[in-house]
Amino acid sequence: MFSPQPTEVTRLLLITDDLAQAPALQAALSSAADFQIHHRLALADARGPLAAGAFDACVFLSARPDAELSAQLADARATAAQVALVVVLPAGAAPDAQARLLSAGADSVLFAPLDPATLAANLTRLASRAAPSPVAPPAGAGLAAPARLNAKAAALSSALEVLRDFSQVLGYSLDYRQLTHHFILKLREVVGLSRIAIFLEPVASDALPAGARPDTSALPCAAAIGVPADLVECFSLTRKSGLGRQLTLHPQILRAPTPSAAPLLDPKIAREFDVLGGQVAIPVNDRERTLGVAVLGGRITGGEFSDEELLLVYHLLEELGLAVKNSWLHHQLVASHRLFGHVLNGLTVGALVVGGNQQVVYANRAIIDFLKGTRADQLDIADLPPEIAARLHDVVENGADAEPFFHELTTPAPRYFRVSLLPLRQPSTRLPQTAMLLLEDFTKIRAAQRAEIESSNLKLISLIARRFAHEIRNALVPLTTHAQLFDSEIGQEDFRASLKEALNRETQRIQRFTDQMLLLARSDQPPSELAPLEDILRASFEKSRAYAGSDAELEIKSTLPPVMLRCNRSSLAHAFQEIFLNGLQAGSGEDRRLTVSLSTVTSADGRANLVIAVRDSGSGFAAESAARATEPFFTTRNTGVGLGLTIARRVIEAHSGSLDVHPRLRPTDPDIMICLPLPR
């Protein structure tokens, strides 16, 4: 979890009243080296911690090298003789400013703009040079040799035992800061400590779930007695060096070093003991890992701690660690509950949770508004509309699975709601169970759907009107032309023949439109008779050829015996008329013919199906046209309304078949493939 090599952490005090530059300098220094940076507007705001030795270096970021800055430097040097003092001046500062500030006590005077790495290296070098000589612990660096307890010590040990038993109830505390504060008050009262400070890793953010606590190395002070408040505010331990690292890697009781001992491997330990005025450091753990460090001062009476007393304090701090861990879990649970509540309250969907006792457990703002502002703590399942309440009761009591349904309110204005009932089943399947009701307002969605349908209908009606008006006008043009010439030309034989032909042709066109509209209205007529397919094909082709005025021929290729189809003969015949007419109108060349090939295929369910492949003498469908050929009103010609293949497909589908239009990949490929079930 932690690097075996200690990291040098420099505690830096930044003095500047420029609130705009301070964050930028802090970010730049933090990216270049490992700093703990505390920003203050003036030296007076941090004189106490500075005098206690809480900082390794102090940086003055000033826009003007005036007498006030020199006075602050002198004050800082008098307060902390060993601390490294660095001044950063703007680029345009006077040439003699550097000498004046150095004489006032500064160790280094730099000019902006600065390279963050250079400034960080300078600060680290000055801080290490100004650090006090390390003092080593006595040989063995462990607990002092055991001493015999006298009667008073035995009584004290008994009191600590009582306190240890009492501390087990601390696991139920919900506020770890208050818990820690009262714990050290009680500990001070029993043990007689002159000072104590407990440093704990920060609790996870309220927005993070349990288990997502960020890995932080800082150990801020959670509670302290006998330590100056301004020192507590700006001084913290770290897992990267000093006491934090030592007790994290080796969770043992550690006594402060004495002047006669050998040098410590980490001089930061002596420095931190000195700053806090501590004599003993004890790890705070939860029986799994170290959560923090407790630094204890001496006794108020001046006596030393025995090994037995420190061991009991260690166990008390272990109980505190368990309580702190439980407190953190409580914080995370409350935060998750609060976040979930905020999310549900912000939804426009109404949410209501009902427990197994039929009592409302939770209701968000939307469901309260739906029930006309009834307070959440006064809601009852009976306040819901009867239909919703009955189904919700069935889900809670009987464990029924309810499909979403719609509920309409007619007063004061119509409103539509989509209701979903979700059982919140526990691992055990016992009933009754908790259930959630979700209420979605579909009023605007319904209105939008209705408006869209009306708009689509209007567009469709407009398209039908334009297409049929165009075709009827085309049919009326030759008729009106003959009507205008009727009086003067009726005696001519040619005129009478032309009039007869026009009447026959255009009435056929209008009759075809009428048949198409009737088939659109009743294309789902069920197959009711058995009819020979070849008769239907030939009769339909003759009508199509007469309508188109074509001399094309029909060729039927089949190796099958005569095929009988169960069909609605008139509608199926019209479908083939539309298919053949489309082929005749597309045909070209001298050999104008339609080829129909018959074959059979077995479907996946084992049923025999008839396949009818139709090919004309033209060039076939383009890929774009084939994809849209059966769409209503799609046509590539100037005449017709584009309903022929649409009607043909609907009739075929009404006979449980299918019609597909294909572009030709090879010259012999069919244009239209029809599949129809054969009678069993």
Classify residue 449 as exposed, middle or buried by CB count within 10 Å of its CB (0-12, 13-18, 19+).
Answer: exposed
Please check whether residue 437 is in contact with residue 421, taking contact to mean a CB–CB distance below 8 angstroms.
yes
What is the pLDDT at residue 292?
93
CATH superfamily of 10-130: Response regulator (3.40.50.2300)
Multiple choice CATH, 522-677, 3.40.50.720, 2.40.160.60, 3.30.565.10, 3.40.190.80: 3.30.565.10
Q: Residue 51: in which H helix or E strand, if any?
A: helix 47-51
What is the pLDDT at residue 260?
62
Residue 638 contacts by C-beta under 8 Å, 6 or more apart in sequence?
A: none
Q: Are strands 196-200 and 290-296 parallel, antiparallel or unpaired?
A: antiparallel
For the chain, residues with pLDDT lower than 50 are 1, 135-149, 206-210
Q: Global pTM? A: 0.52
**What pLDDT digit, counting tens, does each position of 560-582 carry?**
999 999 888 888 888 898 899 88
The CA distances from residue 128 to 12, 111, 385, 496, 650, in Å, are 12, 22, 76, 122, 91
The CATH fold assigned to 151-333 is Beta-Lactamase (3.30.450)
Residue type, 482: H
What is the pLDDT at residue 521?
65
CATH 3.30.450.20 fits 347-441, yes or no: yes
Q: Which of 588, 656, 650, 638 is nearest to 616 (CA)?
A: 588
What is the pLDDT at residue 472?
76
Q: Which of 595, 599, 610 is nearest to 558 (CA)?
A: 599
**Token digits of residue 68:** 């006030």
Q: Are strands 658-661 and 672-677 parallel, antiparallel or unpaired?
A: antiparallel
* Angle between the N-to-C axes of helices 116-130 and 21-32, in degrees from 0 to 180, rounded to the nearest 10: 70
The 8 Å CB, 24+ separation contacts for 357-364 are 357/432, 358/393, 358/396, 358/432, 361/434
Classify residue 577 as exposed, middle or buried by CB count within 10 Å of its CB (0-12, 13-18, 19+).
Answer: buried
**Token digits of residue 171:** 């696991």
Is 679 strand, coil or helix?
Answer: coil
Please check whether residue 57 is in contact with residue 86, taking contact to mean a CB–CB distance below 8 angstroms.
yes
C-alpha to C-alpha distance for 294 and 281, rounded to whole angstroms: 6
Task: Establish whether domains 10-130 and 151-333 are of one fold.
Answer: no
C-alpha to C-alpha distance for 237 and 463, rounded to whole angstroms: 80
Rounded to whole angstroms, the maximal C-alpha distance in the chain is: 151
Q: What is the DSSP letter of 400?
A: -
* Angle between the N-to-C axes of helices 493-521 and 644-654, in degrees from 0 to 180, rounded to the nearest 10: 40
* Angle between the N-to-C axes of helices 644-654 and 569-586, in degrees from 0 to 180, rounded to the nearest 10: 140
**What pLDDT digit, counting tens, does each position of 230-268 carry?**
888 888 999 888 999 999 999 999 988 876 655 555 788
**What pLDDT digit, counting tens, does each position of 63-74 carry?**
777 888 888 899
Q: Are strands 350-354 and 564-567 parallel, antiparallel or unpaired?
A: unpaired
Residue 253 contacts by C-beta under 8 Å, 6 or more apart in sequence?
A: 142, 143, 280, 281, 282, 283, 310, 311, 314
Q: What is the dihedral of CA 163, 165, 166, 168, to 10 degrees?
A: 130
Tokens 């033209």 — which residue? 618
Q: Which residues pair with 193 in a beta bridge?
A: 299
**Token digits of residue 526:** 């069920």
Tokens 């492949």 — which residue? 613
Every domain of the chain and the residues it spans: 10-130, 151-333, 347-441, 455-517, 522-677
**Token digits of residue 286:** 């939860």
Residue 619 contacts by C-beta under 8 Å, 6 or more apart in sequence?
A: 586, 588, 664
